């Protein structure tokens, strides 16, 4: 979360994706979706995974 919120961090989108997956595994699906959207192109909405299917 902290890395994603740091606008000077070069890998913000990757940090958002990692945070999204952490929140997903904690069962916090709304937070997971919020961070997934912050992950930009790293979050593949066409991915046929339980993670993507659950939070969308």
Helices 29-38, 12-25: crossing angle, 10 deg rounding: 160
- Taking alpha carbons only, the member of 24, 14, 13 closest to residue 49 is 24
Can you give the residue range of the structural domain that contains 16?
2-55
Using CA atoms, how far apart are residues 47 and 52, in angstroms rounded to an integer?
A: 6
Length of the chain in terms of residues written: 56
What's the structural domain count of the chain?
1
Rounded mean pLDDT, 24-29: 98
Rounded mean pLDDT, 16-43: 98
Q: What pLDDT is recorded for position 3?
A: 96
Output the pTM of the full model: 0.92
Q: What pLDDT is recorded for position 10?
A: 96
Q: Is the dihedral of CA 37, 38, 41, 43 positive or negative?
A: negative
């Amino acid at each position: 979360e902290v890395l994603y919120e740091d606008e000077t961090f070069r890998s913000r989108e990757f940090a958002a994706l990692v945070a999204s997956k952490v929140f997903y595994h904690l069962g916090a699906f709304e937070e997971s979706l919020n961070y997934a959207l912050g992950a930009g192109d790293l979050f593949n909405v066409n991915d046929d995974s339980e993670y993507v299917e659950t939070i969308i």
